[in-house]
Chains A and B, each alone.
Chain A
Amino acid sequence: MSSKRKNGKGREIFALGAEAVVEGALLAGCSYYGGYPITPSSEIMEGMAARLPLTESGVFMQMEDEIASLGSVIGASLAGRKAMTATSGPGFSLMQELIGYACMAEVPLVLVNVMRGGPSTGLPTSPAQGDVQQARWGTHGDHSIIVLSASDVQECLHMTVRAFNFAERYRVPVILLLDEVTAHTREKIVIPTPGTLEVIERLQPSMPPEWYKPFEETVRGVPPMPPVGSGYRFHVTGLTHDDKGFPTGKPDEIVQAIERQFRKIDQFFFDIQITDDYHCDDVETLVVAYGSVARSAQLAVTQARQEGIRAGLLKLSTLFPFPRAALERHLRTCHTVIVPEMNMGQMSREVKRVNNGRAKVVTINRVDGSIITPSQIHDKLRKG
């Protein structure tokens, strides 16, 4: 990778989406990576293997499987590290139980899933977006979680930083969903100078250790989290627990714990929900897209505008919690909403739920291992 300085704001490199994730992770302060190779995510792992040992305290571990990878990431996070793993469809499925553990024990971590076709081993290195609902609901039980996506290489970097920031701020696992096109596209990007991006650290307790309760109710709903070995000894479990972390079967304590875990995300919707509007001022036909499909959609919308069609694009960078308000805003003027995605309709379910019968919802679905092209979306825009 050749690089040059650009106006002191950073340096330009020519990078893969996967490499941009590595750059973002390092900028965010990631110092632990545990993973298992699987296409199309392996370049993230290889990048971390090369880069982490060169940082001040970075640890890279190639584990024996995906379950072990996420387990080690949870351990490292409990020990105070910003920790990450990356995987793809089948590996993501294996990780689900520990994702639930991380939700329940409120362990911050970042999990990048570069989606491939499925189910099962599916289409190993072909583009797909089939893991969207798995990212939201893959683990068992009711839980809150944050799911992000990125549609170009530069965004891969920035969304990785945001993923770490959300994970640390809200004490939750954050899933960054990429598709194969985004992860394997090579583009020129700017790597910001370290220190110029906002980087959030998890809240540390200020009270003496004997007063500390690891799962205490707080105004933000997010209790402070000291690292293992710092003098704050507490119990971490996947069992439903009281505010001290000990297993409980008391209905009031169970409800309090689960409600707080939901509330800590719900009350900060405005912070978490990241979307972009393109040509949406007077939009009549709205395209809702994410990942590489959003780039096809952007070109299709631009072309449609030139033809006088009042088309617009709502690009979702946050997939969950679903950015309801951003969509609602456009439903006042839209007669049609088009949802193109590389699956059988996983996000259009959310769109239809929010739309609730107001506009006509048209889906474009593709599961043959090929991308959705601008012309495919353009055709639908013409038909309205």
Chain B
Amino acid sequence: MAEVTQLIHHYLRHDKKFPHVFCPGCGHGIVLGSLIRSVHALSIAKDDVALVAGIGCSGRMAVYVDFNTVHAVHGRALTIATGIKMARPGMHVIVVMGDGDALSIGGNHFIHAARRNIGLTVLVLNNFIYGMTGGQCSSTTPTESWTTTSPYGALEKPFDIVNMATAAGANFVARGTVFHVKTLDRLVQQALTRRGFNVVEILTPCHTQFGRKNAFKTPVDMYMWLKKNAVPLESYEKLSPETAAKRIPIGIFAERDELPLEDRHAEMRRKLAGGKA
């Protein structure tokens, strides 16, 4: 316990007025814990980390943690992160976004950042809903779910973040959940150590806006749902098509080692300086 307390004191901002904004049962704190443990395990200096967050509940994460932090405007976290990374390629630039940020309002930036393969670690906190704005439908809301803007059930098909990131060209694409914490820590650590555009989609429950209105009576029910339905990729591939349709695979979906944009840029500069280009 003392060890945990020390970690908290080292990484959280003592001068920020707590308590935090996350609701009871929210998974965002678990993600924050995972991020801190991963940075600590990899011995990355706090000064070498820039954390850029979007808007909404996940966006508040940047306030609490003692890195160089930026709370961007809705959907644009990746654009600001791009500027920081290109200006300081040596830094670990981490982007924390919700599903609305990453795939709805910021969807264009998401696919282009992946296409560029710029060296960012991107955590997409997917809770299937717009939490802070009052529980409206997002681009990852499962079809037929109830939200305040789909009171008769969502009609649209949700985005698959993993497929989207993989198709757009990200170097590393993974999915984890806040229930499977050990796996999550491992995925976040890998994302932090790899070159290029690294995405970890993290399924995290929003009980307040999603769960209690979609047949999950308590926050625990949502965690139990994650436990049952999130299946490691290796096991998922062995399931019958009918069972697989109801489950969500977790694990690593893409591992490439293509040159990140900032390295390509450095290479061009070397050529130009040598008069070879």
Listed in ascending order, the chain A residues whose CB lies under 8 Å from chain B are 32, 34, 53-54, 59, 61, 63-65, 67-81, 83, 97-98, 101, 227-231, 233-239, 244, 246-247
Contacts and interface: CB of A to CB of B under 8 A. Distances in A.
Given A76-B84, A80-B88, 15 more contacts: A53-B265, A63-B112, A64-B108, A67-B76, A71-B82, A71-B83, A75-B70, A76-B83, A228-B84, A228-B88, A228-B91, A235-B13, A235-B71, A236-B71, A238-B73
A71 B15 CA distance: 28
A59 B265 CA distance: 8
Contact of A32 (B47, B48, B50, B86): B86
B227 to A, nearest CB: 35
Interface stretch (B34-42, B61-69, B139-147, B197-205): B61-69
Contacts of A54: 272
Interface in B214-263: none
Contacts of B62: 235, 237
A79 B15 CA distance: 23
A199 B30 CA distance: 47
5 contacts: A53-B268, A64-B109, A71-B79, A75-B52, A75-B84
B256 to A, nearest CB: 21
Contact of B73 (A53, A61, A63, A101): A101
Given A229-B48, A238-B71, A246-B63, A71 B80 contact: yes
Nearest to A244: B15
A77 B83 CA distance: 8
B1 interface: no
A233 B268 contact: no
Nearest to A80: B87
B164 interface: no
Contacts of B15: 244
Contacts of A53: 265, 268-269, 272
Contacts of A76: 83-84, 86-87
Contacts of A81: 87
Nearest to A238: B73
B81 A75 contact: yes
A151 B54 CA distance: 40
Interface of B: 13, 15-17, 46-48, 50, 52, 62-63, 66-73, 76, 78-88, 90-91, 108-109, 112, 265, 268-269, 272
Contacts of A72: 79-80, 82-83, 86
Contacts, number: 133
B190 to A, nearest CB: 23
A78 B83 contact: yes
Given A65-B108, A79-B83, A233 B269 contact: no
Nearest to B77: A71
Contacts of B88: 79-80, 227-229
A105 B66 CA distance: 18
A231 B45 CA distance: 10
A360 to B, nearest CB: 45
A124 to B, nearest CB: 23
- Which of A64, A65, A73, A246 is packed against the most chain B CB atoms within 10 Å? A64
- Which of A32, A228, A233 is packed against the most chain B CB atoms within 10 Å? A228
A343 to B, nearest CB: 29
A291 to B, nearest CB: 30
B88 to A, nearest CB: 5
B80 A233 contact: no
A246 B21 CA distance: 13
B70 A78 contact: yes
A61 B85 CA distance: 12
Contact of A75 (B13, B79, B268): B79
A71 B67 CA distance: 20
B79 A79 contact: no
A298 to B, nearest CB: 40
- Which of B47, B68, B85 is packed against the most chain A CB atoms within 10 Å? B68
Contacts of B78: 68, 71
Contacts of B85: 75
A236 B112 CA distance: 24
Minimum-distance CB pairs A-B, first 6: A75-B83, A71-B79, A79-B87, A72-B83, A76-B83, A237-B71
- Which of B48, B63, B66, B73 is packed against the most chain A CB atoms within 10 Å? B73
Contacts of A73: 83
A59 B69 contact: no
A229 B86 contact: no
Contacts of B71: 235-239, 247
Nearest to A101: B73
